[in-house]
């Protein structure tokens, strides 16, 4: 008769062995992937991208991955476009949390600022009624979120760790409450008729010198079909990922890495930690603003109910689950966190429970995330060791 404890140890042992085997396998996989000649790898990546673009039109009999193939399911391309927008959010949040190591729980605030900016400046129904075309609203949204990142960051980035998390949490809520109460954001009723990317209705007289007149709507982006929004989001994701990766490999990226690992050590090596943390905040905020703008555009409507605390927490969960610091890991985490609840819609209310359990199991088995950056995994191990030493020393 085995006791419960023995059985527990047997299971834990099995998990450890499986993990060791998986590590070996993953290493082999990485090695094999890197031994493939570069043009082939590039081609494979390209094929993957093409597949992603074709995804809304693909269905495989027998494998019901489409969310509209299950009972109570909703449109697959709508789900895809939502996930794509959230992936963009996660890539931006990853700059702040994963790369610079700043725990930001109020990231949703930037997302909201981006969404509202496009609605306020673009919609004919906002009280500002400037009716700027989408292509002008988006840069304004990015600029404004960047500014709000700097405004939030300047006083708060002197705080560290948990304190920063608390203050940013407050920021997210402040933005939401302001949106509920301000006239320009129109509270719960929100702002309808957010402009589509392919329309412009402009009749400007520039200083009385010349007249700019546009009045068109290509009707590619319509509420009937979410695919164009998904494709647009994909393009933006690719551009943003390439930009963030090149940043990661630059001096800026090394400074973030050093700050994340040990801020004191970084500053006595000559890293201007405050400046680089502020940059991380501003860049992260800009990406958040861009994704918020995209979200408002796809929904055609913004109200304060879109930006609750839970969503902010889900973004952080997605990043931690996927593997902080590794862009592709973060993308994977986001897809899982926002796809699974849709896929399990047939379980109706029980799906939240299943989803929560799945998250817990994954985090117990892989605390470093599903696909972490190797550095991050290393740091985590080192911190564990340090804690153990501290405990032994005390």
Partner 1 sequence: MLLEIENLDVHYGRIQALHGISLSVGEGEIVALIGANGAGKSTTMRAISGLRRPSTGRITFGGEDITKMRPDRRVVAGICQAPEGRGIFSGMTVQENLFMGAYTRKRGAQLNADLDHVYMLFPRLKERRRQPGGTLSGGEQQMLAIGRALMSRPKLLLLDEPSMGLAPMLIAQIFQIILEIRDQGTTILLVEQNAQQALSRADRAYVMETGSITREGTGADLLVDPAVRDAYLGVA
Q: The tokens of 90 are what?
A: 């996660």
The stretch near partner 1 (CB under 8 A) out of 36-44, 109-117, 326-334, 378-386 is 378-386
375 binds partner 1 (CB under 8 A): yes
- Whole-number minimum distance, CB 378 to partner 1, in Å? 4
Cα–Cα distance measured from residue 68 to residue 71, given in angstroms and rounded to the nearest whole number: 8
- Whole-number minimum distance, CB 166 to partner 1, in Å? 19
Q: Are 292 and 146 in contact (CB under 8 A)?
A: no
What secondary structure letter does DSSP report for 201? E
Nearest to 112 by CA among 171, 156, 189, 195: 171
Binding mask 335-354 for partner 1 (x = CB under 8 A): --------------------
- Whole-number minimum distance, CB 257 to partner 1, in Å? 7
258 binds partner 1 (CB under 8 A): yes
CA angle 328, 42, 253 (to 5 degrees): 45
39 binds partner 1 (CB under 8 A): no
Task: Please report, as residue ranges, which positions from 130 to 189 form the binding site for partner 1 (by CB under 8 A).
Answer: none
Report the residue from 16, 213, 378, 388 that binds partner 1 according to the rule CB under 8 A: 378
Q: What region, left, alpha or beta, does residue 208 occupy, with left being phi > 0 and alpha being psi -120 to 50 degrees?
A: left
Task: Please report, as residue ranges, which positions from 262 to 281 form the binding site for partner 1 (by CB under 8 A).
Answer: 262, 264-273
Report the residue from 173, 248, 342, 379 that binds partner 1 according to the rule CB under 8 A: 379
The stretch near partner 1 (CB under 8 A) out of 9-17, 332-340, 352-360, 381-389 is 381-389
- Whole-number minimum distance, CB 179 to partner 1, in Å? 37
The stretch near partner 1 (CB under 8 A) out of 10-18, 36-44, 121-129, 375-383 is 375-383
> For the range 238-245, what are the long-range contacts, defined as Cβ-Cβ under 8 Å and sequence gap of 24 or more?
238/49, 240/88, 240/91, 240/92, 240/287, 240/290, 241/91, 241/327, 241/331, 244/91, 244/94, 244/95, 244/283, 244/287, 244/327, 245/327
Helix 227-248 vs helix 251-261: angle between axes, to the nearest 10 degrees? 80
- Whole-number minimum distance, CB 373 to partner 1, in Å? 8
Contacts of 321 (CB under 8 A, 6+ apart): 333, 336, 337, 359, 362, 363, 369, 370
- Whole-number minimum distance, CB 390 to partner 1, in Å? 11
Nearest to 256 by CA among 280, 282, 240: 280
Residue 201 phi/psi, 5° resolution? -130, 90
What secondary structure letter does DSSP report for 56? G
The stretch near partner 1 (CB under 8 A) out of 13-21, 147-155, 224-232, 377-385 is 377-385
The stretch near partner 1 (CB under 8 A) out of 14-22, 206-214, 251-259, 330-338 is 251-259
- Based on CB atoms, which residue is closest to partner 1, 233 or 258? 258
Q: The tokens of 81 are what?
A: 């476009």
Give the residue carrying structure tokens 């009972």. 71
10 binds partner 1 (CB under 8 A): no
Question: Which H helix or E strand runs over 317?
Answer: helix 309-322
The stretch near partner 1 (CB under 8 A) out of 8-16, 140-148, 255-263, 328-336 is 255-263
40 binds partner 1 (CB under 8 A): no
Report the residue from 19, 69, 203, 382 that binds partner 1 according to the rule CB under 8 A: 382
Reported residue count of the chain is 394
Report the residue from 119, 257, 280, 286 that binds partner 1 according to the rule CB under 8 A: 257
- Based on CB atoms, which residue is closest to partner 1, 350 or 374? 374
- Whole-number minimum distance, CB 265 to partner 1, in Å? 5
Judged by CB under 8 A, the number of residues near partner 1 is 25
| 212 C-beta neighbours (distance < 10 Å), count | 10
| 109 C-beta neighbours (distance < 10 Å), count | 30
Point out which residues bind partner 1 (CB under 8 A).
Answer: 254-255, 257-258, 261-262, 264-273, 374-376, 378-379, 381-382, 385-386
């Amino acid at each position: 008769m085995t006791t419960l404890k023995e059985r527990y140890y047997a299971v834990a042992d099995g998990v450890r062995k499986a993990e060791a085997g998986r590590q070996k396998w993953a290493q082999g996989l990485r090695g094999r992937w890197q031994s493939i000649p570069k043009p082939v790898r590039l081609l494979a990546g390209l094929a993957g991208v093409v597949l992603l673009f074709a995804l809304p039109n693909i269905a495989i009999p027998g494998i019901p991955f489409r969310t509209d193939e299950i009972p109570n399911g909703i449109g697959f391309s709508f789900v895809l476009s939502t996930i794509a927008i959230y992936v963009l959010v996660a890539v931006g949040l990853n700059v702040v949390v994963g790369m610079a190591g700043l725990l930001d729980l109020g990231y949703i605030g930037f997302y909201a600022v981006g969404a509202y900016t496009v609605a306020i400046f673009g919609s004919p129904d906002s009280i500002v009624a400037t009716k700027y075309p989408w292509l002008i609203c988006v840069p304004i949204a990015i600029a404004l979120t960047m500014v709000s990142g700097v405004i939030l960051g300047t006083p708060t980035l002197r705080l560290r760790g948990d304190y920063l998390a608390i203050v940013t949490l407050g920021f997210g809520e402040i933005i939401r409450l302001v949106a509920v109460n301000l006239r320009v954001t129109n509270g719960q009723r929100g702002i309808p008729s957010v402009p589509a990317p392919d329309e412009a209705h402009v009749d400007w007289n520039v200083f009385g010198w010349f007249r700019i007149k546009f009045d068109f709507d290509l009707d590619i982006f319509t509420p009937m079909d979410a695919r164009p929004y998904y494709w647009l989001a994909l393009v933006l994701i690719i551009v943003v990922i390439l930009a963030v990766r090149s940043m990661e490999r630059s001096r800026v990226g090394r400074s973030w890495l050093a700050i994340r690992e040990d801020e004191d050590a970084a500053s006595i090596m000559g890293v201007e930690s405050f400046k680089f943390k502020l940059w991380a905040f501003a860049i992260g905020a800009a990406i958040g603003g861009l994704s918020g703008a995209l979200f408002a555009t796809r929904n055609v409507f913004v109200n304060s109910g879109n930006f609750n605390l839970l969503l902010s927490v889900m973004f952080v969960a997605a990043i931690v689950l996927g593997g902080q610091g590794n862009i592709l890991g973060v993308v994977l985490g986001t897809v899982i966190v926002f796809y699974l609840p849709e896929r399990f819609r047939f379980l109706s209310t029980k799906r939240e429970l299943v989803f929560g359990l799945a998250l817990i199991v994954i985090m117990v088995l892989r605390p470093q995330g599903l696909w972490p950056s190797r550095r991050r995994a290393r740091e985590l191990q080192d911190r564990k060791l340090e804690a153990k030493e501290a405990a032994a020393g005390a």
